[in-house]
Amino acid sequence: MPATKADILEAEDPARGINLRVPCFTEIDEEKLRDQLEHDHFFWLDIAEPTEDDIEHLGHVFDFHPLALEDSLHFGQRPKLDDFGDYVFMVFYGAREHREQGDEPLDEVHVFLSGKFLITLHHAPLPALKAQRDRISGRVMHSEQFVVYRVLDALTDTFFPPLAEIDDEIDDLEDGIVQQPTDEHLHRIFALKRDLVAMRKVVTPQRDLLARGIDTIAEIPGLQLDERDYFRDVYDHMIRISELIDSYRDLLSGAMDAYLSTVANRQNEVMKQLTVIATIFLPLSFLTGFFGMNFGYLVNHIQNSLLSFLLLGIGSCIASVLVLYLYFRSKRWT
């Protein structure tokens, strides 16, 4: 099995930074947390579905600023990084994995980061963070900064699978629209556009956050920052994600134009066929109306035999249809 990027990074020379084991917790145990703080042992606390009581306990144990605690209670914020001196509060997003159609495409994560701890709060269990907890817990890491990188990188990389699915779905939509456009295609285009707009609303400020937030993180007291290439790697991923979103939005706009053009062409075909039918019946209506008039001369001298009926009544109708058909063929309308 080929080595992953994380495996390669963990296999690097440990002499490049400090070596530490980072315990990972998923519940608020004040006794354990205070013990970690007293011994200045860096740890990661990951809480899914935090309650108001959980936030209150965090404020009591870590002495967080009231504004940071208030922000951590309210999800639906834009990506940001607030510096509170000894720690920072960050709002970071990942893409939701294995979601049902119509679900929100994003997972919002609130992060408290200092030289002593990393705390992540989110509404639902996140497979990406669980996988990182399993990898980090009990293993020797390069530095505290490397743990932060692993968390941000894991959240960032969750955007790639949904975007790959959108890419495949756009290909299917384009093929379906060319063959037979339906209302379902139009609804799916709008749904994908909404997902991309939601992603773009967080990806752009998140990319800018990483561009300027490296210096802020580096200045956190007590946080070991061995090098900045790790954060630049996350920043490069965000740039790539932003470009993919923009390109897929353009593809969806093209699919929308193709849908409208195909539907318009089909409507034009239908209108042309209806016009041909109406044009054919126009002389027929005239002939039947003319010969249906009950004038004495017409009845006594013209329509007074079977031959006149066949030639004038039926023959003129057939001749008019034939003439129009040959005319349409010459114009390539049929």
- Which DSSP helix (H) or strand (E) runs through 111? strand 106-114
Q: 269 pLDDT band (50/70/90 cuts)?
A: confident
**Cα 266–270–271 angle (5° rounding)?**
115
Q: 161 pLDDT band (50/70/90 cuts)?
A: very high
Q: 16 pLDDT band (50/70/90 cuts)?
A: very low
Q: What pLDDT score does 7 carry?
A: 47
Residue type, 130: K
Q: What single DSSP character describes residue 101? A: T
For residues 165 and 199, what is the distance between their CA atoms, to the nearest angstrom? 14
- What is the value of pTM for the model shown? 0.74
Q: Render pLDDT for 162-186 as a digit per residue (tens, 0 to 9).
A: 999 999 999 999 888 888 888 888 8
Q: What pLDDT score does 247 carry?
A: 94
Q: How many other C-beta atoms can be found within 10 angstroms of the C-beta atom of residue 115?
A: 16
Q: 12 pLDDT band (50/70/90 cuts)?
A: very low
Q: What pLDDT score does 225 carry?
A: 61
Q: How far is CA 178 from the centre of its chain?
A: 23
Q: From 3.30.460.20, 3.40.50.10470, 3.40.1190.20, 3.30.1300.10, which CATH number describes the 5-262 domain?
A: 3.30.460.20
Give the largest CA-CA distance in the chain.
123
Q: What single DSSP character describes residue 302? A: I
Q: What pLDDT score does 252 carry?
A: 92
Q: Render pLDDT for 27-83 as a digit per residue (tens, 0 to 9).
A: 888 888 888 888 888 899 999 988 898 898 888 889 899 898 888 888 888 999 998
Q: Render pLDDT for 222-245 as a digit per residue (tens, 0 to 9).
A: 776 665 677 888 889 999 999 999
Model confidence at 9: pLDDT above 60: no
Q: Which residue has the tokens 């114009």?
A: 331
Average pLDDT, the chain: 82
Sketch the domain layout of the chain as residue ranges.
5-262, 292-330
